[in-house]
Amino acid sequence: MRAKGNSGEHLCTNPPYGYKKDPEDKKRWIVDEEAAAVVKRIFALCVDGKGPMQIAKLLTADKILTVKAHYAKRDGKPMPDNPYRWDYKSVAGILERPEYTGCTVNFKTYSKSHKLKKRLNNAPENMRIFPNTQPAIIGEKVFERVQELRENKRRPAKQAERQGLFSGLLYCADCGSKLHFATGKNMTPEQDCYRCARYKSNTGDCTMHYIREETLKLFVLRRIFAVTAMFIDNADDFRMVVQKQRFEEMEKAVKRRKKELEQAKKRVAELDRIFKRIYEDDITGAISNERFLKLSAEYEAEQKELTEFVNTEQSAVDAYEQDRADFDSFAAIIRKYVGIKELTPTIVNEFVKKIIVHAPDKSSGRRRQKIQLVWNFIGELEQDEDAQTIERQRKSRTA
């Protein structure tokens, strides 16, 4: 089984929901179109801000066959008693499966002994992942974004059934805590706001970080309009702006890292040749065994240190190269939403990675509040505008 798993073959007996075995090759997975459409819908609903429980209710209401019912129908077996009642655990399981990106993940679990049937979750570093082993149903970027959203779970406010459009994306600039959505049955949407989780009527250990949702909507929408205009006017200039702000300093560091990486790799290969030489000298008696042991210990320690250095630096270089490729992913989002009139949870989740809210500054005699918007894929861009300017403009419009 270990040899099979290390070779990239699927270790699970049956493919996950959304795939089926190829009739001509049982080891190969092909897309089950009917189930794959449901998988795509589940991921799209998650990007739209829905949680597993909400998604399960929507699928049930639309009378979508459950996983078990789908298999029963496909294989000509008796249908279950409730063929449309989706469980949130099934939805969560689908959202967490990386196989939908087209990869194979082996050794997810292990047992302490062949005598024990209980399986334990394996550490990520002990798993084996093989990319492009079957057609992808979900893009890698969509899958990664869904995992980020799942980590920042959103819940409706207790006092009302409204859910914040930016819940899970707002962070306090001072303490790093999330800003919680605050609303109530007697509050209008214009009064809905976000407050730092560690500020509670001056009894917490952080100062007031407060911002209205309507102000944030206008802020984010204007930023999207601005970044779209920059891209549409001249995509090459926009790319240069992004590279200058995000990659200029990083590029110098990466050039240095690549040079050091190449030198380290050469030294590791050279140490392999030295090991071989001193081993032969030890066998032939050209050097004493004590001398061999001393030299081999020194060279082995150096090689271990260099290998760790190579792994660390290679990861940094790979991350930089991936960052540059991510620009194209952000450009695709811009093209997708040209001309939007209002924000939706899907638009917000595709554009925005996080928003950092600073405490208001009153030193100038006027209340000013800085907001940092971090975009998906490209990070933060310098765009000057504070929350109070937007708030005043919003009020003048509604007056």
Burial of 33 per CB tally in 10 Å (0-12, 13-18, 19+): exposed
Last residue of one domain, picked from the residues 97, 120, 151: 151
- Please state the φ and ψ torsions of residue 15, each to the nearest 5 degrees: -70, 155
For residue 63, the model assigns a pLDDT of: 95
Burial of 158 per CB tally in 10 Å (0-12, 13-18, 19+): exposed
Residues 21 and 129 in one domain: yes
Tens of pLDDT along 170-200? 999 888 888 888 887 777 778 888 988 887 6
Q: Give 178's DSSP letter.
A: B
Last residue of one domain, picked from the residues 268, 296, 327: 327
CA distance 152 to 55: 16
For residue 252, the model assigns a pLDDT of: 64
0.75 exceeded by pTM: no
Answer whether residue 6 is part of any domain.
yes
Overall domain count for the chain: 3
CA distance 259 to 255: 6
**Mean pLDDT (whole number) for 120-141:** 86
Answer whether residue 356 is part of any domain.
yes
**Least confident piece of the model among 201-205, 292-296, 323-327:** 201-205
Q: Are strands 109-110 and 170-172 parallel, antiparallel or unpaired?
A: unpaired
Percent of the chain scored above 70 by pLDDT?
85
Residues 14 and 135 in one domain: yes
What does the chain come to in residues? 399
For residue 267, the model assigns a pLDDT of: 83
For residue 319, the model assigns a pLDDT of: 64
**pLDDT category, 274, cuts 50, 70, 90?**
confident
For residue 261, the model assigns a pLDDT of: 78
311: pLDDT strictly greater than 60: yes
**pLDDT category, 138, cuts 50, 70, 90?**
very high
For residue 65, the model assigns a pLDDT of: 95
Residues 53 and 127 in one domain: yes
**Mean pLDDT (whole number) for 98-125:** 81
Higher pLDDT, 162 or 263: 263
For residue 40, the model assigns a pLDDT of: 95
Residues 147 and 55 in one domain: yes
For residue 111, the model assigns a pLDDT of: 77
The enclosing H or E element of 280 equals helix 248-284
- Residue whose C-alpha is closest to residue 8's, from 21, 26, 27, 24: 27
Residues 315 and 346 in one domain: no
Answer whether residue 238 is part of any domain.
no
Strands (DSSP E) along the chain, which ranges?
19-22, 25-31, 104-106, 109-110, 120-121, 128-130, 170-172, 179-182, 193-196, 210-212, 352-357, 371-375, 379-380
Answer whether residue 257 is part of any domain.
yes
Task: Supply the mean pLDDT for the chain.
Answer: 82
Tens of pLDDT along 51-60? 899 999 999 9
For residue 26, the model assigns a pLDDT of: 87
What separation in angstroms does the CA of 138 have from each of 226, 366, 374? 30, 48, 24
Residues 228 and 259 in one domain: no
For residue 204, the model assigns a pLDDT of: 62
For residue 202, the model assigns a pLDDT of: 58
Q: How many CA atoms lie within 13 Å of 79's alpha carbon, on the beta-carbon side? A: 10
Answer whether residue 376 is part of any domain.
yes
Q: Give 368's DSSP letter.
A: B
For residue 156, the model assigns a pLDDT of: 53
Answer whether residue 27 is part of any domain.
yes
Residues 321 and 355 in one domain: no
Token couple for 33: 């179109």
Residues 368 and 304 in one domain: no
**pLDDT category, 388, cuts 50, 70, 90?**
low
399: pLDDT strictly greater than 60: no
For residue 70, the model assigns a pLDDT of: 95
For residue 248, the model assigns a pLDDT of: 56
Residues 136 and 71 in one domain: yes
